[in-house]
Structure 1
C-alpha cells in the first residue's frame, strides 16, 4: 500500500478521515474515485473476489474436443504446426507456429530455452508467453492445442474482442488457436509437486489479431535447474516471464511481476476487470491492451508507476485498482525495483558481472573475451613459441612443447646438453643443437670417453718389447693387435676382414685389400674394378673401337683400355666406359632411385640402392631405425629387416632403457682414493701414501727386511667389479 504525499495513513479500510488542510482540488479527485482512499490504492482484491479463472470458463480443451498433445518431454513441444490461415503478428503473417512445453507459443522457431529472458528480445524471437518457465510434463500434466473454426468458439472469441476493444464493434473471428497447459509441474519436480494450469487463445479475422491469457491455478514459478535456481517447491531463482514480444527489440509487454516472485500471483491480476485474465491486441504497430473505459481511473489521476512503467486500470467493480507494466530492467508493484541482471550469473569462465539498467557488463579474466566471457582467446594465434616448437592452447594460457635441444617457456633457449657433464674421464664436452660430442684425452675413447686405452708400463721403446706386450691384449675374432709408438695398443681388423666389428669378409681379388669399414677395395697395379676383378691390357679402346673378344673397355690411368675379367664375378656397370656399351634393355634406365640395371636372359633386373625395393626400385623400404628406438644415447643398427641397439656404457636392454648399477656407488676406494668408471668396472686412484686394489695399503708401514722403506714409483692400477 502507498499514499499520496502529505496524506496520513488510513487507520481503517472501512473509513478514511480527510484532514481539513487537504486541497480542494484533491478532494474533487477523491470524490470522483471512491469514498475510501485506502481501498482505492490497495493492490489487493476485496474479499469475495475470486482470484482466478475457473476451468469451466476456459475455452474447451482436451482429447474429448479433438486436441492434440505435445510429447511428454522436458523442453520439447509440438514441433512445427502448419495452420490454415496467415496469422497477423506485428506486421508479419505466419502460416506456422510452435506450441512449446515451456509455456509459450512461438513463430519462426521452437523455443527450448527453459530459463526465461526479460522482454524485449531482438533477433526475431516472436513469442506469445502466458507463462514462460521450465515445464516438465514427463512428471505431471499435459499440454493440449488445436486450431479451430468451430462456430461456438468463433462466436465467443468475437464477443470478447468486442467487449474489451469497443472500437471494433463489427469484429468477427474466423480462426482461433487454443493451447492449454493443464496441471503441469516444473523440472526437478514429481507427480506430488505443485502444478500450474493456464491457457492462451490466439484470435484473428485475417486482418486484426488478439490474444487472451487465462490463469486458473499458479503455484510454482521456477524450475530446479542450476541456471534457474528454483527450490523444491518450484519457487525462487529466476521466475516465469509472462507477456509477448514482437522480436524487434522495441514492441513488447511484460505482465507485472514477470521474472520475480510476484508472478506467482498472476492469477489475481488483470487488465480487463476479471482476475486471472489478460487481453491484448498483437497485430498493430503499437502495443494495445484492453480497457474497461471506467471514468474513475486510478492511473489518470494518481500516476503511481515509476521509472517509465505503464499504468493499467483493473476496473474491478467495487474495487478500482491498477497494475504497473514495467520497462525492461525494472520490477515491483510500482516498477520501483531495478532488476539485478547479474542474479542469473550470466558471466562465464570466472567473469565478474556488473549490473546495469536492463543490462549487465562482464569483466572477463585473462584468456577470455565476449559479452559473457564465453570465448577462449587463442593464445597460439600469433605463434609465440620459437624454434619450431608446438603451441598447445590452454584456458587463458598456452604451453610450448619444445623441439629436442631447446628449452624455456617459449623454447627460446638452446639447451646445454653439456650441463649434466656427460663426458667421463676428463673428456671435454662440446654443446651442439639437441646433441653433444666429447673430446677425449689421449688415454680414453668412446662416445662418452668411457673406454680406457690400456697404458703399458715399459722401460724401452724397442719394437720387439712392444710386440711382446701386445700378446696380452684381448682382441676378438678377426681382429689383430697393433702397438703404437706412444706405448699403447689398438685392435684392428685382420687382413681379409672389414666392418664395425670386423665381421665382413673382404671380397677383393688379385691381391686387392679392403681399406675401410665399408670394404672398399684398393687394387694392385694393373687391376681395376669394384673387386679388382679386371686385368688391364695395353690395348686402347673407344666407342667406335671395341675390345677383342668383347672385353670391357674401362678407364684406367686417365685412358680407356681393354680389360679381361679374371673371375666369374658379375660386371658392374659403374666400371664400364659409357659410350662402348652395346644397346640393351637397360638403355631406357628402367631402374629408379639410383638402382643399377643388369641384363638377364633377354630381360633385365634392378639392383636397388639401400632403402628401396621393387622390380624398378620404386618402393621405399621402411627404415627400422627411422623411429629412433634406441634410448639414452644408444646407436641403432639395422639387421635382417629388424634393428639392434648398441648401448653406451652403463645402459643395457633392447632399447638401452635399463641403467646398470654405478660400480662407484658403494665407495670402494679407501683412504681418500678416487673411484673412476671403467666399462662396467671401476679403478681406484690412490693418494701418494696409500696403494693396493682399494687403496687399503699404507705405504709408510711397508718396510724392507733391512729396515729401509720401499717406495714404489711404478704400479699397476687394479680394476674390479
Structure 2
C-alpha cells in the first residue's frame, strides 16, 4: 500500500515538473511551428453487397424458378490513419531552452561578459573583443597584447585581429585617409548637407560657412552689415549655449548628425533598449521593430549554463575544466581555442579553426570564427582562414581579386612589368606578349617575313609581280606598271600607273613599265610608224627574208611575194605547164605546137624562135625543122 502511494506521488511530481518546464507562449523568444502527426479515425464507406433472389423465369412454358443477382451498397465503417496538424512551441533561432526559458546563444563564449542577445556579448569593465576575452588596451592587440596597434588618427585596434576601427572622419586600412569631399562621419557614409556657401567638417558634418553666408547649412546670404550668429545643430537640434547642441530623439553627436547606435534611443541617444530575434530598436522611441515572423516588446536575460553571478560574469569552472562539478578536462586544442564551455565542454575555436576540438583548419572557401564566413575572393583568389583577406592569383588584384592587372603589368600582385615592343597588350597572368599585326616573337620585336602578314604573321601575302606586302593588313603596294588589289593587272606605265602612253601607230601598245611603244610585227620606229626595211620582217624586224628569184617578203609575217611564173613558200618552183602569172593562177590558151610563157602567158612556138610555126611542122632539138 505504501509502495503504491510512493509511486503515485512520484508520478504527480513528474507531471508537475514537466508542466513547470513547459515553454511560455508569451515569452518573446518562443516561436510556434505547425507540425503534422498521424491519427486514427473511423470513416464510413460504401460497401458492395450481392443480393440473390429467385423469380419466375421469362419462359412462360417452364415451371422452373430462375436465380437473380443484384448488387446493392450499404454504409460500412473502418479504421483509417489521417494526418492532423498541431502547434508546437520551441525557442526561436538564436536561442536555446533552459528549463522553461529561451535564452540567447552565443556561438563564441563571452569569456568575461554575458550573452545578452544571439552572438552579442556585453563585456565586463577592462575586457574587449567580440567574446570579451582580450584585456588589451586601445594601443595593443594579439596574444599577450604583444602587437602594437598601427591605427592612425585615433583609430582603435580590434584586440584579437588588429584590424582598425576608424573614428568618424577617416577611412582606410589604418584610418590614414580623411573622408572624400562631400562625405563625413563613421565610415564616411554620410553625405554633407551644406549648401554652396559652405563646406562640411569631415568628422561631425558641421557646415563651415564661407564669408557672407550664414544658417545651419550656410544657405543664407548675410545682410550687408554683418553675419548674425548661427546655430550649427542639424536634424532639429537646439543650440544651448556656445557650441552645445541638444539633439532630438534618435540623434547624437556635436551637431546632431549621428544616428543612435543599435540598442540606444531617445534624446542624445541616452537610453538603452534590447530587442530580440534580430529585431531593431527605433532610435527615436525605443520601440522594438521585430523581424518578420516575430512579435512582442522586450525580453529577459538568464545566465547561460556554466556561468553564474548577478550579471552572469563568473565561470563555474576554472580554465581547462568543465562539467556539472568541473570534473572533466577540456579536450580542445589549446593553441587554437578561445574557450572551453564550462558546462558542456564545447570548444570555441579561434578564427580560422574548426572541428570538435579546434584541430581542423577551415574548409576551402570559409574563414573566421567557426569557419562560418564565406570567402569573397574571386578569379582563383584564396582567402586567409583567419582574417578572410584575399591572396590573389597571378594576374588579379583588389580587395576581392576582382580587378585584372592594369595594362602593361602582370604576375603576383601585378608587380611585374611587361617587356613587349610592338604589342597590343600582355597577359596579366604570365606576361605573354600579344603582338600587333605584322610582328612576332616572344617580345614582338621581329617583323613578319616578306611573304607573311597579320596576327602572328600567320597569313600568306597574295601580291603579284614584285609588289610589296603590308605586314599589318596584307595590302599590296604595286610595282610600276601594275595595278589592282593584288597588283596582277597591267596599266599605263609609271609609278602608281599615273603616266599616259604616247600614241603608238599601227595598233601597237605601250610597255607598262618603261612607256616605250611595243611595235606589232612588221613595224619599227619610236612610234612604230615605219614598216620593216626590205629584206627584213617580223617582231622588231629581226626576221630575214629567204625568197628566191628576187622576190620580196611580207614585212609582218615574212611570207614571200613571188614574181610572175614562180610559186612555192620561197618562190623556187616554176609554174606547172599550162599555168602562168602571179602565183601561177592563170591558165594558158596557146594553139598546138606552142607553149605558154610561165611569166607573161605568151604563146611561143616549140620549134624555136624566129620560125613561123605552120600546120604539121614540129620543132625539136633532136630533129631538124620539117615543112608540112
Query: TM over 0.5: same fold?
Result: no
Instruction: Give the TM-score range, shorter chain.
Output: under 0.3
Question: Which has the larger Rg?
Answer: 2
Higher relative contact order, chain-length normalized (CA < 8 Å, sep 6+): 1
Q: TM-score, normalised by structure 1?
A: 0.18
Q: Give the structure-2-normalised TM-score.
A: 0.20
